Amino acid sequence: MTSSNKTKQECYVIKKDAVKAFLDSLSDYTLHAPVREDETILFKEIKNTDDIIYDFSNAVKAPKDVVMPQTETMLTITKGGKDSLVVEEPESPDKSVVFGIRPCDAKGIALLDQIFYEDKQDTYYVQRRENTTIIALACNDPHRNCFCTSVGGAPNGKAGCDLLFTDIGDAYFVEVVTSKGKKLITNKKLFKSISEADKKAKNAAHKEATRKLGDALDLKNFPEKLEKMFGEEFWEKYALKCIGCGACAYMCPTCYCFDINDIDYKDVVKRVRTWDSCQFGNYTMHTSGHNPRPNKVNRVRNRVLHKFKYHVDNYNEIKCVGCGRCTTHCPVNMNLKAIIKELAEKEL
Amino acid sequence: MKSNPYMPEIAVIDDIRQETVGPRAIKTFKVSFKDDRLQKGFAYKSGQTAMVSLFGKGESMFCITSSPTKKGYLEFSVMRMGKVTSALHELEEGDAIGVRGPYGNDFPLEQWKGKNLVFVGGGIGQAPLRSVYLNVLDNRDDYGDVSIIYGARTSKDLSYKEELFDFEKRPDVNLSLCLDWKFAKEGMLDEEAEEGWFKIDMKDPEKTKAPKGTTRFTGFVPQIVLVSKPKPKNTIAITCGPPIMIKYVVENLKKLGFSSDQIYTTLEMRMKCGIGKCGRCNIGSTYVCKDGPVFSLTELEKLPNEY
């Protein structure tokens, strides 16, 4: 896990017109960066670094799929005879760099690490994660639905980052967060030493972005409060609106639930895993028909409680990075921040 | 890939026992790993589960119904229900399946040494209990009285029949088998096979006076608990079966003076990974696959009612 090998703070500046040369020099890596496609900002595998865009609020989807693809083959099984089966694993993933990820989404990956590195390590995730270096771009123009500062994040948060870039006008201020990030700083002609003015410009940029986000919610005793709210009727109000489409989970940088299924091609079977969501009724349905979370109210409540209570119980951190995508993309205008605010301020 | 937790090992079906028949038939599969070293290395405890693969159909989590005291094989009792279980029922001896595990926690048998144990099972719920009582009976001197209450609809629906009928002859096992009272009443029982099964007083089961040594009853499992009247002192009750049965078994055990920390059960949940990653088996912040499946009632009472 990269967060455990922090190096002493080391900083550089890189001129904006030198960034292309830097990214071009990373030819040993598969590069993922934001591009504009039909008015949409997406993270894509980059063939030509001219395609990369630098001036954007955030991508429509977090680049979570670099470490956790939406669909991946876990095993390929070749059937021989009656008791002959050959089970093969996929090849090791390529080394990759994600450039331009926002600190909220990088933190999302740090939160995924908690799940996939724990106990029995998820080898598929861990291999990808170990092979991925994350260059984040600090946020200087938050989206209207953003609330990272309410959930322990910041426009310049370093969780999950290996390098953190901040736009300071004609250059980027570069903070080296991990030794993995440091490995990318090889060309000192591109990465120059910083001045006091650079430092000031960086701090001013962070301060301005934080100001734009407005007041943070006070969620200090919120997890304990939520526990007491489990049986309350107001969950019904939120659930009534929900159509159970799962868009919130698919857009979420911290949602990680998955399904595993076999696809039978007669002689060859592929065991495939895909993203899943606790908002789907089938998610918890037993074969017998019994369902521990039979209604939308159970499922909507589970999603909120998982992020703001259950995960806090297990890992002492809120499992939401405040990117606001669930709100932006909800077809029935559910607003997570508004729900959290209402619950946090509710008298018990 | 080093130590991939999702990698099943190939096991071969050595024996298949047809426990019950009908649309929801139960079969017990006795399997062993192809690689002998894996078989020796597969150390499990009573209560733990394993993920069984039928390649092309998928994976399902089953409790291991054999006792770890018996080396060289694993047993799974499977009711024909869905895609994987129906396909498993089509397999024959010699066929290969995949197995990974063992997963989850186990019944605290070490702590229970010197205590009396009461097992209360219904239907396929007997499968996890079987691993525990076979284990206990292989270490008989370590425990006090052992009582087994097991119910099914009709005599045709009783699993592990021969094994249980053998227990009737054991002086160190207090056995109560029971058949569903409702079916007895409607005359749906196989009259010959059920002849001589003692009908309990369903209205006031505690007043039932069965002749000493009676092991075969007709009645519901929770009522048989009141007929058998296990004493709570120094006793642990372990129950598994349909949710409605568990509910009334617990109620009746409490009536007899059992406290929540003397009652244990094992839970079922839909599972995909078995190692706390895929998300779906949570009850609050507890994951049944890794924190369970074994829970004391004291532990369950602290969790949200979503199981």
* Cβ–Cβ under 8 Å, residues B42 and B50: no
Mean pLDDT within A285-298? 93
CB A283 to CB B280 under 8 A? yes
User: How far apart are alpha carbons B283 and A183 in whole angstroms?
Assistant: 43
Superfamily for domain range B9-103: Translation factors (2.40.30.10)
CB B95 to CB A292 under 8 A? no
Q: Which residues of A touch B272 (CB under 8 A)?
A: 258-260
CB A284 to CB B8 under 8 A? no
Q: How far is CA A16 from the centre of its chain?
A: 26
Nearest CA in chain B to A76: B55
Q: What is the reported pLDDT for B185?
A: 62
ipTM: 0.92
- How far apart are the CA of A269 and the nearest CA of chain B, in angstroms? 5
Phi/psi of residue B288, nearest 5 degrees: -60, -35
- The pLDDT tens digits for A4-19 are 444 458 999 999 999 9
DSSP E strand stretches across B139-267: 146-152, 174-179, 198-199, 216-218, 235-240, 263-266
Of A82, A293, A313, the CB nearest to B285: A313
CB B94 to CB A302 under 8 A? no
CB B275 to CB A120 under 8 A? yes
Interface check for B7 against chain A (CB to CB < 8 A): the answer is yes
Q: What is the reported pLDDT for B9?
A: 93
Mean pLDDT within B244-254? 95
Q: Which residues of B touch A313 (CB under 8 A)?
A: 284-285
Task: Of A125, A106, A138, A120, give the one whose Cα is nearest residue A254.
Answer: A106
Q: How confident is the model at residue B212 (pLDDT cuts 50, 70, 90)?
A: confident
**Chain A, chain B: beta-carbon pairs less than 8 Å apart:** 126
Sequence ranges of the domains in chain B:
9-103, 116-266
Helix residue ranges per DSSP H, chain B: 36-41, 83-89, 126-138, 161-167, 181-185, 191-194, 221-228, 243-255, 288-291, 297-301
Q: What's the longest Cα–Cα distance across chain B? A: 63
Q: What is the reported pLDDT for A241?
A: 93
Q: Which residues partner with A32 through β-bridges? A: A45, A98
Q: Which residues of A touch B6 (CB under 8 A)?
A: 74-75, 123-124, 260, 271
Least confident interval from A224-233, B185-194, B259-268: B185-194
CB A284 to CB B270 under 8 A? yes
Q: Which residues of B touch A115 (CB under 8 A)?
A: 276-277
Task: Of A45, A41, A22, A20, give the one whose Cα is nearest residue A32.
Answer: A45
Is the pLDDT assigned to residue A2 strictly greater than 70?
no
Integer angstrom CA distances of residue B93 from A306, B31, B32, B90, B161:
44, 9, 11, 10, 21
Work out the mean pLDDT of chain B and round it to a whole number.
93
Q: Measured at the alpha carbon of residue B84, what is the angle toward residues B83 and B89, in degrees to the nearest 5?
A: 100
- The pLDDT tens digits for B48-100 are 999 999 999 999 999 999 999 999 999 999 999 999 999 999 999 999 999 99
- How far apart are the CA of A163 and the nearest CA of chain B, in angstroms? 28
Domain B116-266, CATH: 3.40.50.80
Task: Supply A86's token pair.
Answer: 């050959």
- How far apart are the CA of A344 and the nearest CA of chain B, in angstroms? 19
* Pick among B282, B283, B291, B303 to test the A interface (most A CBs inside 10 A): B282
